[in-house]
Amino acid sequence: MRISRSTGLRAIPAWLLVAVAALSTPLPASQSSSWLDAYRDPAARLIAESLSSAFAWERLAFLGDTFGHRLSGSEGLEHAIEWALAEMKNDGLDNVRAEPVKVPHWVRGQESAEITFPHRSPLAMLGLGNSVGTPAGGIEAEVLVVRSFAELDASGDRARGRIVLLNVPFTTYGETVQYRTAGPSRAAALGARAMLIRAVGPPGLRTPHTGALRYAEGTPQIPAAAISVEDAERLQRMQNRGTKVRVRLEMEARFLPDADSANVIGEIRGRERPDEVVVVGGHFDSWDVGTGSTDDGGGCIVTWEALRLMKKLNLRPRRTVRLVLFTNEENGLAGGRAYLDRYRSQLGHHVLMLESDSGVFRPTGFGFSGSASARETILQIASLLRGIQADRIGPSGGGADIGPSVEAGQLPAMSLEVEGNYFLIHHTQADTVDKIDPADMAKASAAIAVMAYVVADMPERLK
Amino acid sequence: MRISRSTGLRAIPAWLLVAVAALSTPLPASQSSSWLDAYRDPAARLIAESLSSAFAWERLAFLGDTFGHRLSGSEGLEHAIEWALAEMKNDGLDNVRAEPVKVPHWVRGQESAEITFPHRSPLAMLGLGNSVGTPAGGIEAEVLVVRSFAELDASGDRARGRIVLLNVPFTTYGETVQYRTAGPSRAAALGARAMLIRAVGPPGLRTPHTGALRYAEGTPQIPAAAISVEDAERLQRMQNRGTKVRVRLEMEARFLPDADSANVIGEIRGRERPDEVVVVGGHFDSWDVGTGSTDDGGGCIVTWEALRLMKKLNLRPRRTVRLVLFTNEENGLAGGRAYLDRYRSQLGHHVLMLESDSGVFRPTGFGFSGSASARETILQIASLLRGIQADRIGPSGGGADIGPSVEAGQLPAMSLEVEGNYFLIHHTQADTVDKIDPADMAKASAAIAVMAYVVADMPERLK
């Protein structure tokens, strides 16, 4: 019996999950704990090999240091893709290839925001991804600060002709990010000329966070930018004092014609059932600030490591393990969709898809979405990771890039789970490799290698 | 007996201080603890009044929010000075006045730094204060990274024609700042075309720190900028890998003709000996990043509060308490020198000078430089601050702005001492009011008010 979808598990009542677990038939012999014994040695070797060096961190550092950011359409991304292809071949991976994908090509250009009244003072800002630009010379208008969509909607005609600032304190990403994605069109619908948003993240050091917006059909497309928490609170205080603050926003942001990019793929070809595939990966593109080391360079490198470690230890599983470095997660998801388009007919042979895209801080285990019996198997495999404290299996797994395929194929899905201050640096200038501990990367690589290897090798397919 | 100078106390052996304390004659009646009893009530009232509101924090927020930064020569500083004069009059202070001071007028202009080889990638940078600019189009050169002056000097001819990066990890400000002040000329002497310095502060969020450089006589003046810790380590790693990294630095920095500014002064005029003066203050100028809220807006406001609180409670001490908001501490010290020039003949009537310029985080007490008997008195007064845990008296006190007068007059000197992460935000974009706790400001204001009031009022002059 298969229960869950990556997007659906949260909706199933806990009592039902318990009931299903209680009703499930006894595990077959191959699924009882004893089958796991054959994997204790390879798991220990994968872990020891990973923990023996800082190879993953060094590779991630090289990637960010050398190529900088990797926004879709940028030279940095395409140079990095060429490098990754060469490196995967150097690692001895099988079937290394780039699978072409057309991607949106948004460019930021020059941008700035400043208070112009009562006294000129710059704001720390980052335009939102996919935003339109302003006319040359910018947009200057009085600011209306609101704390919520409710306050915005209640402002009646006061948003008209204004620059609206959505000053919403960060709670969780899922809850707060809606103001970034939907805010510009909500403000435009009320006649705002531009939108500013308090950065979606906890307070930093005057650190704006970029990220994609999504214009709604039928409302004017207005320019939109994030400003730092400090600047948002400053504008709030000024409004609270009755000061009629004016701000000038200037952005050259625009789309160029779609660009050529690619998903980068390498494999450990299965020795017995090569058509059955365990996919691991992350997204290779990033925002155009910082070097995209946690989002999601680290996820790419630690999933890549899983294959490199198997190769290094000459561990070739029964089934194929496929690494996919997806392109264009941040502002389009073209890579994830292209994978589905290309492999739709083969999804029945996809045993599991695993993505790492929550940063590579201290790994605690994985989130998993799949059947109750598959969960039982995954829990058993995870026990091999107890020594590195990465054996927790959370209630749901998935990822943006694997999402289209997981949904289309109703596939079991996993995500690496970590503990760390991901959202402090997410989509900021500060997303650089120094925020990541080499030991955490080694542990994460080991955890993914063990999980992927055992799922790919175990006698019975995960189901 | 007067022992110490603000600059000299550290040089006196500890055994001598102990010996002096042991040999000193018994305190006169007015200096024994019982004299202090008369001040328990006013001290309690000053503390209670200060802690009853967030007035200090709100005033500091208004200052930074409204006027932005206050670099010497900027409109922000001069508008803020006009506001301060009006506010001091509103507070009912005596003899409110601006004392004109000519100040250097350095402007940053547009500036940027980027890696140009192996791949283009921007660096997070801030030009150093008082730096010359680059030629239009910038300076592009290969980078030489060194970890110390010793490594720089040992580099022989390899600095010639290069951009030198001094990548020195932060230890203490006193120890590390020398690389910022002296580094540009040390690099220029070896033929470097420009200098970059790892930001003088602990790691932040890709947060460069500006601050003044000091060109040496007889060496070419080359442009110099700080880059973030992350960027410095990136360039270090690239050099360690053998990559010949090229960087382009472009800065429009230049001096304009000296500008008009002023020290802002207000007083509580003494009721019996008005010519004897206790000076309290901070510096009102700031760097041109952030809003200069901790450096040193907060110091200005909490010393100002000392007078406002006395006025509010109708506490007029025997001697005069004088508030001085000095101009141009950051890149010239013209305000501190102008004060000395104007009051040189009256230094003999200066009882104490107290500066707050280490941020207004949790106050722990004061540093004090002065005679052993004065220290004994100060310790007794500090006991009135035990209730707010601000009663520690450290071994030396002083401040940049009061420095010239303290030295010329051999005056007792104090500084507010606090516990907080001052150097994380010092001279950065993140120096904004939200980093300061209103309760800490209230406590600091109370501590300064009590100290200044008692020293100004006690029957015998501090000596």
Looking at the complex, does the CB of residue A82 fall below 8 Å from at least one CB of chain B? Answer: no
Does A2 have pLDDT greater than 50? no
Q: So what's the pLDDT on residue A32?
A: 56
Q: What does the alpha-carbon distance between residue B254 and residue B136 come to, in Å, rounded to a whole number?
A: 13
Residues contacting residue B173 through CB under 8 Å, at least 6 positions apart? B200, B423, B426
Query: Are the beta carbons of B437 and B302 closer than 8 angstroms?
Result: no
Shortest Cα–Cα distance, A97 to chain B (Å): 24
d(CA B44, CA B318): 19
User: Taking a C-beta distance cutoff of 8 angstroms, is the pair A23, A282 a contact?
Assistant: no
Residue A33 has pLDDT above 90, yes or no: no
- Alpha helices (runs of H) in B277-365, residue ranges in sequence order: 298-312, 334-343
Tokens of A16: 């039902």
Per CB-CB distance under 8 Å, the chain A contacts of B202 are none
Considering only CB atoms, which chain A residues are within 8 Å of B432? 206, 230, 234
Question: Is there a contact between B205 and A203 if contact means CB atoms under 8 Å apart?
Answer: no
pLDDT for A13 beyond 50: no
* Mean per-residue pLDDT of chain B: 94
Of A67, A68, A434, the CB nearest to B233: A434
Contact by Cβ (8 Å): A427, A358? no
Residue B18 has pLDDT above 50, yes or no: no
Q: Are B247 and B192 in contact (CB under 8 A)?
A: no
Per-residue pLDDT at A23 exceeds 60: no
pLDDT digits (tens, 9 = 90+) for A47-83: 999 999 999 999 999 999 999 999 999 999 999 999 9
User: Across the interface, do A243 and B66 touch by the CB < 8 Å criterion?
Assistant: yes
Query: Is residue B93's pLDDT more than 60?
Result: yes
Q: Quickly count helices (H) and strands (E) in chain A.
A: 13, 16
Q: Which residue of A has its CA nearest to B425?
A: A205
pLDDT digits (tens, 9 = 90+) for B220-236: 999 999 999 999 999 99
SS3 of residue A224 by DSSP: strand
Helix A55-67 / helix A438-457 crossing angle, nearest 10 deg: 110
Omega prior to A118 cis, within 30 of 0: yes
As given in the structure block, the two tokens for residue A392 are 């927790």
A43: closest CA of chain B, how far (Å): 32
Chain A CB contacts of B75 under 8 Å are 119-120
B63 SS3 class = helix
CB pairs under 8 A, 24+ apart, for A12-17?
A17/A372
Tell me if B366 sits within 8 A of B454, measured CB to CB: no
Percent above pLDDT 70 for chain B: 93
- Cβ(B430)–Cβ(B290) under 8 Å? yes
Does B233 qualify as catalytic in the annotation?
no
A:B CB pairs within 8 Å: 94
Which chain A residues are within 8 Å of B428, Cβ to Cβ? 205-206
Q: Say if the Cβ atoms of A206 and B290 lie within 8 Å.
A: yes
Helix (H, G, I), strand (E, B) or coil at B363: strand
Picking from A14-28, A262-276, A370-384, B321-335, which range would have the lowest pLDDT averaged per residue? Answer: A14-28
Evaluate the CA torsion angle B36, B38, B41, B42 in order and state its sign: negative
Q: Do B121 and A76 make contact, defined as CB atoms within 8 angstroms?
A: yes
Handedness of CA B272, B273, B275, B279 (dihedral sign): negative
Give the pLDDT band (50/70/90) at residue B32. Answer: low
Q: Which residues pair with B250 in a beta bridge?
A: B112
pLDDT average, residue stretch B376-392: 98
pLDDT of residue B77: 98
Residue B115: list chain A partners with CB under 8 A: 68
Burial B273-282 (b: 16+ CB within 10 A, else e): ebebbbbbbb
Is A75's CB within 8 Å of B119's CB? yes
Q: Which of B49, B329, B330, B417 is catalytic?
A: B329
Residues of A numbered 242-271 whose beta carbons fall under 8 angstroms of chain B's beta carbons: which are they? Answer: 243
Q: Tokens representing A77?
A: 């991304």
CB-based contact, B438 to chain A, within 8 Å: no
Residue B28 has pLDDT above 80, yes or no: no
**CA pair distance B216, B182, nearest whole angstrom:** 8
Summarize the confidence of residues B52-64 as an average pLDDT.
98
Assess whether pLDDT exceeds 60 at residue A28: no
Task: Please tell me the total number of residues recorded for chain A in this structure.
Answer: 463
Residues of A in contact with B82 (CB under 8 A): none
CB contact under 8 A, A120 and B68: yes
B68 contacts A115? CB cut-off 8 A: yes
* The two three-digit tokens of residue B372, written as one number: 């052993």
Average pLDDT in the B71-81 region? 98
Tokens of B114: 């980027």
Is the CB of A68 inside 8 Å of chain B's CB atoms?
yes
Q: Is B428 on the interface with A (CB under 8 A)?
A: yes
**Cβ B65–A234 below 8 Å, yes or no?**
yes
B65 at interface of A, judged by CB pairs closer than 8 A: yes
pLDDT at A3 over 80: no
Nearest CA in chain A to B234: A65
Q: Is A287 on the interface with B (CB under 8 A)?
A: no
Question: Would you tell me how many other CB atoms lie within 10 Å of the CB of residue B311?
Answer: 18
Pairing relationship of beta strands B319-326 and B254-268 according to DSSP bridges: antiparallel
CA A303/CA A307 separation, integer angstroms: 7
Q: Judge whether residue B29 has pLDDT over 60.
A: no
Q: Is A291 on the interface with B (CB under 8 A)?
A: yes
What mean pLDDT do residues B357-375 have?
A: 98
Q: Is the pLDDT of residue A9 over 70?
A: no
Q: Which residues of B touch A428 (CB under 8 A)?
A: 205-206
Whether B61 and chain A come into contact, CB under 8 Å, resolves to yes
- CA dihedral B310→B314→B320→B324, nearest 10 degrees, is 40
Say how many CA atoms lie within 13 Å of A146 toward its Cβ: 22
Percent of chain A scoring above 70 in pLDDT: 93
pTM score > 0.90 for this model? yes
Residue A30 pLDDT exceeds 80: no
Nearest to B119 among A61, A67, A119 (CB): A67
- The confidence score (pLDDT) of residue A293 equals 98
Query: Which of B66, B74, B207 is the mutation pick for testing A, counting most A CBs within 10 A?
Result: B66
Write the ipTM.
0.92
pLDDT at position A12 over 90: no
